[in-house]
Amino acid sequence: MARKGKIVVDREFCKGCFLCISACPVKVLEKDSLPNSSGSYPVRIVKGENCIACGNCYTVCPDLALSVYTLAEGEAV
């Protein structure tokens, strides 16, 4: 069974570089249509159930705006 993960986005830390969107092999993230308090358009999670906890998004994020967790088998997203 494939590994399952969960991503948490800190909207206020995200400056909207979108490197994480390109780095995600399963396309979990996309640009949000609502700005954060600094006026940047952060990323948002659109297909969280597809996350495989690879950590690519976390690795490329220059703002440390993402956290990635590996879920135990059967744990809900």
pLDDT, tens digit (0-9, with 9 covering 90-100), for 52-75 = 999 999 999 999 999 999 998 766
The tokens 């088998």 sit on which residue?
73
Is 45 a domain residue? yes
CATH no. for residue 42? 3.30.70.20
> Would residue 34 count as lying in a domain?
yes
Number of domains in the chain: 1
Considering only CA atoms, which of 11, 12, 29 is closest in space to residue 20?
29
Residues 5-30 pLDDT 10s: 999 999 999 999 999 999 999 999 99
Across the strands, what pairs with 9? 66
Report field, pTM of the whole predicted structure over 0.85: yes
Residue ranges making up the domain that contains 46 = 5-70
